[in-house]
């Protein structure tokens, strides 16, 4: 299929990524050649084949809903860029 700049911009939006104009140009070319190759899959006859998501046929696995981990609030917050009063700080979201 043909890859356009509009599609690249749409994919940037979906992925929350902003590319520079040079990166967009490069991506346009590269995604074009990759998808050109991937389109080969269209030749494969899959009529009547059930899509397979798990190779072993596993379904949901559940366990008892009990807390097993310790309190690690400080440790977890230590990886956040900005924190305040035991919470993670982000730019204002509501005016």
Partner 1 sequence: MTTEEILRADALTLGKLIKSGGLTSEQVTETFISAIKAEDGKYNSYITVSEDAVSEACEIDKKIKAGELTGPLAGVPIAVKDNICTKGMLTSCASKMLSNFVPPYDATVVKKLKAEGMVILGKTNMDEFAMGSTTETSFYGPTVNPCGTNRVPGGSSGGSAASVAADLAPVSLGSDTGGSIRQPASFCGVTGLKPTYGTVSRYGLVAFASSLDQIGPIGKTAVDCAALFNIISGVDERDQSSTVSTKVDVDAVAGFDVSGKKIGIPEEYFGEGIDEDVKARVMEAVKFYEDHGATVEKFKMPIIEYAIPTYYIIACAEACSNLSRYDGVKYGFRPEGVDNLMDLYIRSRSEGFGMEVKRRIMLGNFVLSSGYYDAYYNKALQAKALIKKAFDEAFEKYDVVIGPVAPTTALKAGESLSDPLKMYLGDICTVLINIVGLPAISVPCGNDKDGMPVGMQIIGKHYDEQTILGFAANYQRGV
CA–CA gap between residue 11 and residue 5 (Å, rounded): 10
42-65 as b/e, with b when 16 or more CB fall inside 10 Å?
Answer: eeeeeeeeeeeeeeeeeeeeeeee
Question: CB of 75: closest distance to partner 1 in angstroms?
Answer: 4
34 contributes a contact to partner 1 by CB under 8 A: yes
Comparing CB distances to partner 1, the nearer of 58 and 84 is: 58
Q: Where are the beta strands (DSSP E) in the chain?
A: 83-84, 87-88
Of 4, 5, 25, 80, the one binding partner 1 (CB under 8 A) is 80
Residues near partner 1 (CB under 8 A): 7-8, 10-12, 14-19, 23, 26-27, 30-31, 33-35, 37-42, 44, 46, 49-56, 58, 60-61, 63, 72, 75-76, 78-82, 88, 90-93
């Amino acid at each position: 299929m043909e890859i356009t700049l509009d599609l690249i911009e749409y994919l940037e939006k979906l992925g929350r990524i902003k590319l520079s104009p040079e990166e967009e140009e490069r991506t346009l070319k590269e995604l074009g050649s990759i998808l050109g190759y991937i389109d080969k899959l269209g030749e494969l006859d899959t009529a009547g084949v059930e899509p397979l998501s798990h190779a072993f046929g596993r379904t949901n696995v559940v366990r008892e809903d009990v807390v097993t981990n310790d309190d690690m609030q400080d440790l977890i917050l230590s990886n956040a860029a900005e924190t305040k009063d035991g919470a993670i700080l982000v730019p204002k979201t509501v005016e």
